[in-house]
Structure 1
Amino acid sequence: MGQKVAGTCYIKVDGTQLVITGGVEVPVSKVKRETVTAGYFKEEDRIPFTKVDAVKAPGTDWDKITNGTNMTITSEFKDGSSYVLSGAYAVDDVNVTADDGKVPLNFEGVSGDWQ
Structure 2
Amino acid sequence: MGQLVAGTAYVKVDGAQLTITGGAEAPLMAVKRETVHPGFYKEEPLAPYLKMTTIFEAGFPLKSLINGRDMTVTCEFKNGKVYVLSGAYLVDEPSHKGDDGTVELQFDGVNGSWQ
Correspondence list, 1:81-92, <5 A: 81-92=81-92
Partner Cα distance (2:21, 2:38) in 1: 42
Alignment partner, residue 73 of structure 1? 73
TM-score (normalised: structure 2): 0.96
User: Aligned with 1:63: secondary structure?
Assistant: helix
Cα shift at 1:79: 1.3
Partner Cα distance (2:21, 2:7) in 1: 12
Partner Cα distance (2:7, 2:19) in 1: 15
AA partner of residue 10 (structure 1): Y
Q: RMSD value over aligned CA atoms?
A: 0.8
8 Å contact kept, 1:66–1:94: no
Cα shift at 1:29: 1.0
Cα shift at 1:30: 1.1
Cα shift at 1:70: 0.3
Cα shift at 1:22: 1.2
Count, aligned residues: 115
Unaligned runs of 5+ in 1: none
User: Aligned with 2:3: secondary structure?
Assistant: coil
User: Aligned with 1:43: secondary structure?
Assistant: strand
Cα shift at 1:21: 0.8
Unaligned runs of 5+ in 2: none
State the percentage of identical aligned residues: 54
Partner Cα distance (2:18, 2:38) in 1: 45
AA partner of residue 86 (structure 1): S
8 Å contact kept, 1:72–1:84: yes
User: Aligned with 1:87: secondary structure?
Assistant: strand
User: Aligned with 1:66: secondary structure?
Assistant: helix
Cα shift at 1:110: 0.1
User: Aligned with 2:96: secondary structure?
Assistant: coil
AA partner of residue 29 (structure 2): S
Alignment partner, residue 27 of structure 1? 27
Partner Cα distance (1:62, 1:11) in 2: 15
